[in-house]
Amino acid sequence: APHWTYAGATGPDHWGAMDPRFTACGKGKDQSPIDLESRDAKSGKNGAFHIAYEKTDVALVNNGHTIQANVKDPNDTVTLDGDTYHLAQFHFHTPSEHTTDGQRYKLEAHFVNEDSNKRALVVGVLVREGKPNPGLAPVFSQLPASEESASNQPISVDLASVLPKDHRAFVYTGSLTTPPCTEGVHWVVLEQPIEMSREQIDSFARIFHANNRPLQKANGREIDDESE
Ligand code: BO1
Ligand code: ZN
């Protein structure tokens, strides 16, 4: 089977038909990303969450779809509804996949966490153009431009300094935004964007011109707006 892409005959409109394992991409009713509307905000429904990220070592890979930082440290966690999720990796999309009140951002970071049952919880962080981001500088100064070019050097990233201070978020149930588009993913999209410089954003956009899945139908899903 041909590999999936973000445009043309193997682009998002065709993912569902490309492989029987990808049917959710075409037929799923709880797909991501979606537009998040402030006026839909409700509180308390899903219970509070807590993000506990700290300084951690990562290894960068270019997997052809994004640049992914694989995390070794099991100490980075998110808790939601009394369940603990451990950070496995983070990666980026340009432009953003989620929008808030129709607004699309330059970049979106996805922090992918898993619990002991392999259920995924993704923390989405929206990025606008502004000041250089010192916390992400160690990653964005050495983005591997091709699938072969990654070095094996561990990179230290202070994730606590990367997240916005305000942890208010849209919490909803959706899917992986790439094949196999598996549903049942907890999404925690932080309302407050972070800033990165034009140079930092461009260094990613030069490698991946557009690696965002188009908006999906909300189909009446409840979006809860809450703080930790
Ligand atoms: S995303 O954050 O919705 N863009 C996203 C998309 C795909 C994955 C993760 C996040 N992929 C899956 C891998 C699994 C892995 C899981 C959690 O991520 O295919 O093998 O267990 O890391
Ligand atoms: Zn992603």
Out of 3, 14, 65, 209, pick the active-site residue. 65
Closest residue by CA, ligand 1 atom 10: 176
- 147 DSSP assignment: T
Compute the distance from residue 220 Cα to the ligand 2 centre, in Å: 23
3-state secondary structure 115-136: CCCCCEEEEEEEEEECCCCCCC
Residue 167 amino acid letter: H
What ipTM was reported for this prediction? 0.96
Q: Assess whether the previous peptide bond of 95 is cis (omega < 30° from 0).
A: yes
- Count CB-CB contacts under 10 A for residue 183: 15
Ligand 1, CB within 6 Å, residue ranges: 88-89, 110, 112, 114, 120, 122, 176-178
Active site residue 91: no
CB contact set of 39 (below 8 Å; sequence gap of 6+):
none
pLDDT in tens, the chain (228 residues): 679 999 999 999 999 999 999 999 999 999 999 999 876 543 334 558 999 999 999 999 999 999 999 998 889 999 998 999 999 999 999 999 999 999 999 999 999 999 999 999 999 999 999 999 999 999 999 999 998 887 778 999 999 999 999 888 999 999 999 999 999 999 999 999 999 999 999 999 999 999 999 999 999 998 887 776
**What residues have a C-beta under 5 A from ligand 2, the ion?**
110
Sequence-ordered alpha helix ranges (H) in 81-219: 137-140, 159-162, 198-205
Closest residue by CA, ligand 1 atom 19: 180
pTM of the predicted structure, to 2 decimals: 0.96
Closest residue by CA, ligand 1 atom 12: 176
Compute the distance from residue 183 Cα to the ligand 1 centre, in Å: 11
